[in-house]
Structure 1
Amino acid sequence: MSEFNFDVVVIGSGPSGESAAISCAKNGMRTALIETRPQVGGNCAHKGTIPSKSLRHVVKQIIRFKNEALFRVVGDHRRLTFPQVLEAASRVIPKQVEMHSANLNRNRIQLYVGEAYFKDQNTVEVTMADGAKETMTARTVVIATGSRPYRPADVDFNHPRVYDSDTILEMAHTPLSLIIYGAGVIGCEYASIFAGLGIKVDLLNSRERLLSFLDDEISDALSYHLREGGVMVRHNEEYESVKADASGVTITLKSGKRLRADALLWCNGRTGNTDQLNLDSIGLSADHRGQLAVDENYRTEIEDIYAVGDVIGWPSLASASFDQGRGVAKVICGQDTEVFAKDVPTGIYTLPEISSLGKTERELTSQKVPYEVGRAFFKHVARGQISGEDVGMLKILFHVDTLEILGIHCFGAEASEIIHIGQAIMKQQGEANNINYFVSTTFNYPTMAEAYRQAAFNGLNRVKRMTH
């Protein structure tokens, strides 16, 4: 008999926690999963990826309806309230919970619902909702507790007109105007969502440009389309104070500006959910953002304690978290191969959406790599013209001499789907990673995927002009 109740205890049932638990269970390990919410799925299913992207989808449908001439003749022009839109978007959450619950049951994973904290390196105690406590021991513990919005102490988040990216999904009124502080991925996504509902949005960015990790051309396109959609984008701004009253919120900026709106959405950073774990009891400490440091195999500085998902910071994507969960399970089960998630594509669900993989023009220029650019604009793609999704472009960066694909950047409808065609070619070894693939392969017509063929011809024609 083992001295431990379980081989592995996983704390958190989001993408990284669920995939870690299931992968360990499939390898014959006795596995327990602890979740604070009454339902599994983590922040991804309940507050983050799924509800916000479902909300975006509903708003996109509303915009299409309003802009389609056929429906404008017979359409219902009543103003939709934000709670009505939220209700439509939330219908997918129970489906996600049912799916995740079935996955855990099928793999015979013991689920505990409550707040987990360490008693020692191999002992975790769970406090249930009714105050009862359950203690379990395990050879290995995986921390997959995720993150939550950062809340500065001088902003009153208890005020009914002040929200963060979690509580905005519970907003019970429809503001006419909204200030969004923080222009990262979440801030930009919500700016396009609320602007799509006809709400006046001020987007405050503390940096010089939007999402500076993107290719400059894509960042510029996002900025243009947000502004065209009615968003007032303000760069290089930091808040001095926030005051909320019964009728609205006033934010005073260090630049001297004062802005007022019906509500404030705070989207400036996230904090790892580690403060309730009693990490001091095992000699483990989080950084100032509540995040845990790990090595290339997701090991913390404490033996047999691992961490995955948003709690370890970058890239803080659900897609990467799934891979991290499976990767840490390989390490725990002794399959210690290359497990660290890398080459993860970005997926930014603004309107229109953005996805990219590989190097940007700025990076290639600084590295003095001889590259060329191939572009295809969706307004020239037949499928885009048919569907009305004619805003956006596909951009391929490739080496002038070897024709190796170095980066792919997509802005427009279904960008996060389109990127994976290029990703598949970029992952090939040696000469198989070559832009010629797109001109020597027959694509269905009409499709959005055909943009790869157009972009490849565009880029190769530039190379030919250089050699003649």
Structure 2
Amino acid sequence: MSEYNYDVIVIGSGPAGGSAAVSAAKSGKRAAMIEARSMVGGNCTHKGTIPSKSLRHVVKQILRFKNDPIFRSVGDYRTLTYPEVLSAASRVIPKQVEMYDAHYPRNRIQLFNGEATFVDAHTVEIALADGLKEKLTAENFIIATGSRPYRPVDVDFSHPRVYDSDTILEMTHTPRSLIIYGAGVIGCEYASIFAGMGIKVDLINSRERLLSFLDDEISDALSYHLRDGGVMVRHNEDYSEVKADGSGVTLTLKSGKRLRADALLWCNGRTGNTDKLSLPSVGLEANHRGQLNVDQGYRTEVDNIFAVGDVIGWPSLASASFDQGRAVAKSMRGEEPDLVASDVPTGIYTLPEISSLGKTERELTAQRIPYEVGRAFFKHTARAQISGEDVGMLKILFHIDTYEILGIHCFGAEASEIIHIGQAIMKQEGEANNINYFASTTFNYPTMAEAYRQAALNGINRVTRMKS
């Protein structure tokens, strides 16, 4: 019998921590979970992915109502307030909590609600909600405490008109105008959401283009449709001062511009939740963004302490975190973990949404790989015409000689679903990863998936014309 209370204790019940605990328990480990919130699910369920994507869905439904004459004919369109939209979006959170709650007793995982701090490499102290403290010991620990919005010290986030991507989900009024500082994934998503509600949005980007990790054509499409939706996108800008008063917020930029809006949403980076763990007591130190360094097995510099999810940084995706949780459980057992993040699709829930996998045109050009492009525009597919969501395209990049698929990029309705068809083929070994699969496969009609056949034929025709 081990001298420790548990074989493994997981700190944090988000996607990474939850899957790590369940995977460890299924392999016969005595596992416990420590969650600082009163409910499980982590930031993903309560402040991040689930509420923001639910909010986006409600706004998308509003836009369909506004833009479809058959719905407008039933009566006057009434402008919905932000609290009303938020209330509709929040209904999914209890369902997610209930689902995750069931995982732990079913797998005999002991759940503790409280703040965890390390005493030594095998001991944590939990400050329980009732004020009591409890010490637990374990052979191994997995840190999966997630992240929170980065807050610079010179911005007053206590002001009722200054928000970050967590507190925006608690806003109780509907601003007529909004400044969003930070044009990363979260900033772009919220820009499209608020613009969809008819709110004037200024989106401040510190770089030359939006989401530069995307294929240039997709990034350009996003920029166009944000502007078309009323968003004022400002590139190459950094702030120098934020002043908030009773009627709004003034953002002064280093370029000399001064912007005024009813509220400010700060979306400029995230910080790992490691500051309350007392890491020095076990010889660990987080970087300036609160993140921990790990090896390929997700092991920190302390042999029996592992870390997964947002707390280790890139790619900071819920999808990757689920996989990292399973992988760290294997690593902890001494098995070779599955590599995660090398082939994780990007899902960006703007309006319309974006999903991407593999190489971009810029990368292939820099690597001097001979490639061709196959495109299918949604406006030419029957399903998109029927649904009215005909904005967007599917783009396949493939090797000009072997026809191997090198990258898939999608912009438009259900992009994050469509991408997985291409992902399945890209993961095939050898000649099975071939664009000819799409050209020779019968797809249901009408479907959005049919865009793969159209894009494949488009690309193959380009190569055929060149070689003839």
1:130 shift after superposition: 2.1
Q: Would the aligned equivalents of 2:204 and 2:233 in 1 still touch at CA under 8 Å? A: yes
1:76 shift after superposition: 4.0
Paired residue for 1:301?
301
- 2:20 alignment partner AA: A
- 1:287 alignment partner AA: N
Paired residue for 2:183?
183
Paired residue for 1:6?
6
Range with greater deviation from structure 2 (12-21 or 105-114): 105-114
Q: Deviations 1:230-273 (Å, cap 9, x if unpaired)?
A: 00000000000000000000000000000000000000000000
Q: Secondary structure at the match of 2:138?
A: strand
- 2:18 alignment partner AA: E
Q: Secondary structure at the match of 1:114?
A: strand
User: How is 1:95-134 mapped onto 2 (pairs within 5 angstroms)?
Assistant: 95-134=95-134
Q: Deviations 1:354-404 (Å, cap 9, x if unpaired)?
A: 000000000000000000000000000110000001000000000000000
Q: Secondary structure at the match of 2:87?
A: helix
1:3 shift after superposition: 0.6
Identity percentage of aligned residues: 79
- 1:84 alignment partner AA: E
Paired residue for 1:71?
71
Using structure 1 for the length normalisation, give the TM-score: 0.99
Instruction: Give structure 1 regions of 4+ aligned residues with deviation exceeding 4 angstroms.
Output: none
Range with greater deviation from structure 2 (330-339 or 425-434): 330-339
Is 1:28 aligned to residue 39 of structure 2? no
Paired residue for 1:15?
15
Q: Secondary structure at the match of 1:431?
A: helix
Distance 1:320 1:344 in 2: 7
In the alignment of these two chains, the number of paired residues is: 468
Q: Would the aligned equivalents of 2:83 and 2:172 in 1 still touch at CA under 8 Å? A: yes
Distance 1:302 1:52 in 2: 35
Q: Secondary structure at the match of 2:160?
A: coil
1:69 shift after superposition: 0.5
- 2:133 alignment partner AA: K
Q: Would the aligned equivalents of 2:320 and 2:340 in 1 still touch at CA under 8 Å? A: no
Q: Secondary structure at the match of 2:324?
A: helix
Q: Would the aligned equivalents of 1:396 and 1:407 in 2 still touch at CA under 8 Å? A: yes
Is 1:248 aligned to residue 241 of structure 2? no
- 2:463 alignment partner AA: V
Q: Would the aligned equivalents of 2:47 and 2:166 in 1 still touch at CA under 8 Å? A: yes
Q: Secondary structure at the match of 2:376?
A: strand
Is 1:203 aligned to residue 203 of structure 2? yes
- 1:368 alignment partner AA: R
Q: Would the aligned equivalents of 1:33 and 1:112 in 2 still touch at CA under 8 Å? A: yes
Q: Would the aligned equivalents of 2:315 and 2:341 in 1 still touch at CA under 8 Å? A: no
Q: Secondary structure at the match of 2:153?
A: coil
Q: Deviations 1:84-137 (Å, cap 9, x if unpaired)?
A: 000000000000000000011211100000000100000011001221101000
User: How is 1:393-412 mapped onto 2 (pairs within 5 angstroms)?
Assistant: 393-412=393-412
- 1:68 alignment partner AA: D
1:338 shift after superposition: 3.4
1:342 shift after superposition: 2.4
Q: Secondary structure at the match of 2:328?
A: helix
Distance 2:352 2:213 in 1: 18
Paired residue for 1:424?
424
Distance 1:340 1:265 in 2: 32
Distance 2:439 2:182 in 1: 41
Distance 2:340 2:214 in 1: 22
Paired residue for 1:288?
288
Distance 2:72 2:316 in 1: 40
Distance 2:118 2:354 in 1: 40
1:341 shift after superposition: 3.8
User: How is 1:225-374 mapped onto 2 (pairs within 5 angstroms)?
Assistant: 225-374=225-374
Distance 1:128 1:429 in 2: 51
Range with greater deviation from structure 2 (411-420 or 67-76): 67-76
- 1:113 alignment partner AA: N
Distance 1:71 1:363 in 2: 45
Q: Secondary structure at the match of 1:74?
A: coil
Q: Secondary structure at the match of 2:91?
A: helix
- 1:39 alignment partner AA: M
Task: Give ranges in structure 1 of 5+ residues lacking alignment.
Answer: none
- 1:170 alignment partner AA: E
Change over 3 Å in CA distance of 1:126–1:286 after alignment to 2: same
Q: Would the aligned equivalents of 2:328 and 2:337 in 1 still touch at CA under 8 Å? A: no
Q: Secondary structure at the match of 1:118?
A: strand
Q: Secondary structure at the match of 1:357?
A: strand
Is 1:458 aligned to residue 458 of structure 2? yes
Q: Would the aligned equivalents of 1:297 and 1:340 in 2 still touch at CA under 8 Å? A: no
Paired residue for 2:53?
53
Paired residue for 1:166?
166
- 1:297 alignment partner AA: G
Q: Deviations 1:143-167 (Å, cap 9, x if unpaired)?
A: 0000000000000000000000000
Paired residue for 1:444?
444
Task: Give ranges in structure 2 of 5+ residues lacking alignment.
Answer: none
Distance 1:105 1:417 in 2: 32
Distance 1:35 1:20 in 2: 14
Distance 2:152 2:9 in 1: 32
Change over 3 Å in CA distance of 1:126–1:76 after alignment to 2: farther
Distance 2:43 2:75 in 1: 36
User: How is 1:132-171 mapped onto 2 (pairs within 5 angstroms)?
Assistant: 132-171=132-171
1:73 shift after superposition: 1.1
